[in-house]
């Protein structure tokens, strides 16, 4: 097999394998081979099993594919289970003491004495654990035919400026290569080759959290308040880095932004609300448990109409759940986060490009709609590396919404904070500190009338609540339309976020292997655009693909279009592994009562 297989590396968390795995992935990327990498890691600093999966796919499928063609087995704790995942005819590069040779019929095991090799190439015993991993890069590079120059370039990129580490690791890669050359068969069933067309020319390799951070940086975020939580932490870290580099005022060396690490998620959203209220672009990032804590203030922001962007990098829950595994399990919670009649818009990025662009959209939407806007990413998108076209520079000016300046206020006959002069349900606001004080008002989560005055009058409360519904319909109109592929099948597939990538692959599988060829709809936002309803209405059965147990997207669809609910089916995974095309295809075939392959 050439350029079309899966490599899985099983190592020990904290052993430095991430650097080695990045060299492997990056060297394949540089050769122009369509490839993607997924890091599967434990909730642990060091010692527990961790894995890295690399998929090479001539068609550019970036989703996970189950079944391993080449296993690199380095961890005694997971070796047996890892071996079981190898497909018949597959190969294993195994640390010799693991004794995997002959353990599985139909799988070729190449034992490598990593311990002995590392002693020879790394004189400092303290560094051997880290350097060992680089040896397998050399071994695998040789067996697969990865261009050594690309491995070296990838290593140099990974260890920028660290000359000593570079030399040491270069030596380890060479030692691994030499061992393979002298001891392992030259003919290997898996090969990589430079494709005729470089699939990665001009492309970038980036994770979704860094992409969202860039989006925020270029959307002019003013205050980012956050409490670290996996898997959103790298968004905060990346944003801090980008802001330091690109948002330091050149004239004064001072910051045009603030990053505040708060005491908890209640404070994180509280600070963001204070900042949004005061007129800065405000954002926080978190994951499910943080969303739970933010509930009360999210409802406040909805009712008091304060713009804020909340990135939810979803992980598998409830409770602590599997904090380092992916899910799309926060939809129902976020859609109505808080008590009472609350609704929140959500955006669902499917790619790193959208993590970047939708974060920018989220700021514009939050200020335009004066409400919290949730960016619903997940661990798979946020923490894994994806190939993408470079992100375009934002050409549209920042949309700051209906804010009345001092001059506007001087011309206006009156200012009523919660009135609806435009009929779109979106009121005008003023910012604290506006000189002269015209337009000053009192923000409160308790009952208020159109002039922001305290009230316990039921009729007034109802009027404001209904105006918020009017705003919700404006949001529906202005939110992103779905992506629809509909040649005219009676069967539909509906996906969103990271389920879309394997869903597209599943469409190919179904076309090639079955009589079921569904149309497809990718939901990009909530509330659902009218075109989503039209898609469901145009199909007899719609298979909703999602990564949670309870079919949360399906439930939201049923809530918003109860008349169409009987058409909806579910294809679900909720084991923490990114959903793959085979499961989607099989799930749809089962739903259609067609035999699975």
Which CB, 165 or 278, lies closer to another protein?
A: 278
- Is 441 a binding residue for another protein by CB under 8 A? The answer is yes
The CB-of-455 to another protein minimum distance in angstroms stands at 12
Find the shortest distance in angstroms from Cβ 346 to another protein.
22
CA distances from 343 to 263, 286, 450 (A): 27, 19, 20
Nearer Cβ to another protein (442/466) = 442
Cα–Cα distance for residue pair 460/571, rounded to 1 Å: 44
61 three-class SS: coil
| Among 412, 431, 565, 590, contact with another protein (rule: CB under 8 A) | 431
CA dihedral in degrees (381, 385, 388, 390; nearest 10)? Answer: 110
Does 203 participate in binding another protein (rule CB under 8 A)?
yes
Q: Using CB under 8 A, which of 255, 410, 469, 596 touches another protein? A: 255
438-446, Cβ contacts within 8 angstroms, sequence gap of 24 or more: 438/406, 438/409, 438/410, 439/404, 439/409, 439/415, 441/415, 441/417, 443/277, 443/304, 443/306, 444/304, 445/299, 445/300, 445/303, 445/304
Helices 208-218 and 233-246 cross at an angle (nearest 10°) of 40
Closest CA to 70 of 59, 58, 57, 82: 82
Q: Determine the interface stretch with another protein among 68-76, 258-266, 341-349, 571-579 (rule: CB under 8 A).
A: 258-266
Instruction: Say if strands 385-388 and 204-207 run parallel, antiparallel, or are unpaired.
Output: antiparallel
Question: Cβ closer to another protein: 129 or 406?
Answer: 406
Q: With binding defined as CB under 8 A, does residue 446 bind another protein?
A: yes
Q: 20-79: which residues touch another protein (CB under 8 A)? A: none
Stretch that binds another protein, among 61-69, 107-115, 247-255, 309-317 (CB under 8 A): 247-255
Using CA atoms, how far apart are residues 428 and 363, in angstroms rounded to an integer?
A: 17
Residue (29 or 528) nearer to another protein, CB:
29
Tell whether residue 302 is a contact of another protein (CB under 8 A). no
With beta carbons less than 8 A apart as the criterion, state whether 353 and 500 touch. Answer: no
Q: Which of residues 361-400 bind another protein (CB under 8 A)?
A: 390-391, 393-394, 397-398
- Part of the chain binding another protein (CB under 8 A), chosen from 171-179, 427-435, 520-528, 562-570: 427-435
- Rounded Cα–Cα distance for residues 216 and 232 (Å): 14
First to last CA, the chain: 21
CB of 230 vs another protein, minimal distance in Å: 22
Nearer to another protein (CB atom), residue 464 or residue 588: 464
Q: Does 153 bind another protein (CB under 8 A)?
A: no
Least Cβ distance, residue 461 to another protein (angstroms): 16
Does 218 bind another protein (CB under 8 A)? Our answer is yes
Q: Which stretch binds another protein (CB under 8 A): 102-110, 296-304, 310-318, 564-572?
A: 296-304
Is the alpha carbon torsion for 388, 392, 394, 395 positive or negative? negative
Distances in whole angstroms, Cα of residue 227 to Cα of each of 95, 237, 365, 444, 478: 40, 11, 24, 25, 31
DSSP 585: H
Cβ closer to another protein: 11 or 430?
430
What minimum distance in Å lies between the beta carbon of 470 and another protein? 25
* 242 binds another protein, rule: CB under 8 A: yes
- Cα(259)–Cα(271) distance, rounded to whole angstroms? 11
Answer yes or no whether residue 401 interacts with another protein by CB under 8 A: no
Angle, CA of 66, 69 and 75, to the nearest 5°:
90
In this chain, which stretch among 68-76, 167-175, 431-439, 543-551 interacts with another protein, using CB under 8 A? 431-439
Nearer of residues 204 and 412 to another protein, judged by Cβ: 204
**Minimum distance between the CB of residue 390 and another protein, rounded to whole angstroms?**
4
Can residue 310 be called a binding residue for another protein (CB under 8 A)?
no
Minimum CB distance to another protein smaller for 25 or for 83: 25
In the bound state with another protein, the residue whose beta carbon lies nearer, of 218 and 574, is 218
- Interacting residue with another protein among 59, 66, 162, 444 (CB under 8 A): 444
The residue among 508, 501, 498, 566 whose CA lies nearest residue 537 is 566
43 burial via Cβ count (<10 Å: 0-12, 13-18, 19+): middle
Cα–Cα separations (whole angstroms), residue 558 to 295, 492, 563, 564, 568: 23, 15, 8, 7, 8
Nearer to another protein, 270 or 525 (CB): 270
Integer Cα distance of 89 and 91 in angstroms:
7
Stretch that binds another protein, among 239-247, 480-488, 542-550, 555-563 (CB under 8 A): 239-247
**How many residues contact another protein, by CB under 8 A?**
71
* Count of CA atoms in the C-beta half-sphere (13 A) of 99: 1
261 to 280: interface string for another protein, x by CB under 8 A: -xxx-xxxxxxxxxxxxxxx
């Amino acid at each position: 097999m050439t350029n079309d297989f899966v490599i899985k590396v099983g190592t020990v968390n904290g052993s430095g394998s991430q650097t080695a795995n990045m060299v492997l992935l990056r060297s394949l990327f540089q050769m122009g081979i369509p490839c993607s990498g997924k890091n599967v890691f434990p909730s642990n600093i060091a010692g527990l099993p961790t894995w890295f999966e690399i998929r090479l796919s001539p068609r550019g499928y970036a989703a996970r594919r189950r079944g391993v063609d080449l296993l690199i087995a380095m961890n005694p704790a997971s070796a047996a289970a890892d071996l079981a995942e190898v497909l018949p005819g597959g190969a294993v590069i195994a640390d010799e003491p693991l004794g995997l040779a002959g353990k599985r019929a139909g799988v070729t095991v190449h034992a490598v004495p990593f311990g002995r090799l590392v002693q020879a190439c790394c004189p400092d015993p303290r560094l051997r654990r880290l350097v060992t991993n680089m040896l397998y890069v050399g071994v695998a590079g040789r067996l697969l035919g990865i261009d050594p120059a690309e491995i070296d370039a990838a290593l140099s990129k990974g260890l920028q400026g660290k000359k000593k580490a570079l030399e040491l690791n270069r030596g380890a890669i060479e030692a691994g290569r030499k061992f393979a050359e002298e001891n392992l068969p030259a003919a290997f069933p898996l090969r990589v080759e430079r494709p005729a067309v470089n699939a990665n020319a001009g492309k970038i390799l980036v994770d979704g959290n860094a992409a969202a951070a860039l989006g925020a940086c270029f959307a002019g975020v003013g205050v980012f308040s956050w409490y670290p939580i996996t898997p959103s932490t790298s968004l905060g870290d990346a944003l801090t880095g980008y802001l330091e580099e690109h948002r330091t005022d050149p004239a004064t060396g001072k910051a045009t932004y603030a990053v505040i690490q708060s005491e908890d998620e209640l404070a994180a959203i509280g600070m963001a609300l204070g900042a949004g209220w005061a007129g800065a672009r405000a954002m926080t990032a978190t994951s499910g448990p943080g969303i739970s804590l933010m509930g009360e203030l999210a409802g406040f922001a909805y009712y008091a109409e304060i713009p804020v962007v909340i990135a939810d990098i979803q992980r598998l829950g409830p409770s602590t759940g599997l904090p380092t595994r992916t899910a799309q399990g926060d939809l129902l919670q976020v859609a109505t986060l808080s008590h009472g009649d609350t609704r929140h818009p959500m955006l669902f990025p499917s790619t790193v490009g959208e993590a970047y662009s939708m974060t920018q959209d989220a700021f514009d939407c939050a200020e335009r709609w004066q409400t919290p806007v949730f960016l619903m990413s997940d661990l798979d998108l946020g923490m894994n590396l994806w190939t993408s076209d470079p992100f375009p520079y934002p050409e549209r000016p920042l949309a700051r919404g209906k804010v009345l300046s001092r001059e506007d206020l001087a011309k206006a006959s009156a200012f009523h904070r919660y009135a609806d002069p435009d009929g779109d349900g979106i009121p005008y606001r003023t910012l604290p500190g506006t000189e002269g004080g015209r337009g000053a008002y009192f923000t409160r989560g308790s009952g208020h009338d159109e002039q922001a005055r305290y009230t316990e009058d039921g009729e007034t409360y109802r009027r404001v609540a209904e105006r918020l519904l009017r705003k919700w319909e404006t949001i529906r109109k202005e939110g992103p339309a779905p992506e629809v592929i509909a040649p005219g099948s009676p069967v539909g597939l509906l996906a969103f976020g990271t389920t879309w990538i394997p869903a597209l692959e599943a469409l190919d599988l179904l076309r090639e292997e079955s009589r079921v060829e569904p149309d497809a709809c990718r939901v990009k936002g909530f509330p659902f655009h009218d075109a989503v309803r039209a898609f469901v209405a145009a199909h007899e059965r719609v298979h909703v693909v999602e990564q949670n147990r309870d079919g949360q997207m399906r439930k939201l669809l049923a809530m918003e279009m109860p008349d169409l609910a009987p058409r909806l089916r579910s294809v679900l995974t909720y084991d923490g592994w990114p959903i793959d095309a085979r499961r989607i295809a099989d799930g749809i075939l089962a739903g259609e009562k067609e035999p699975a392959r």
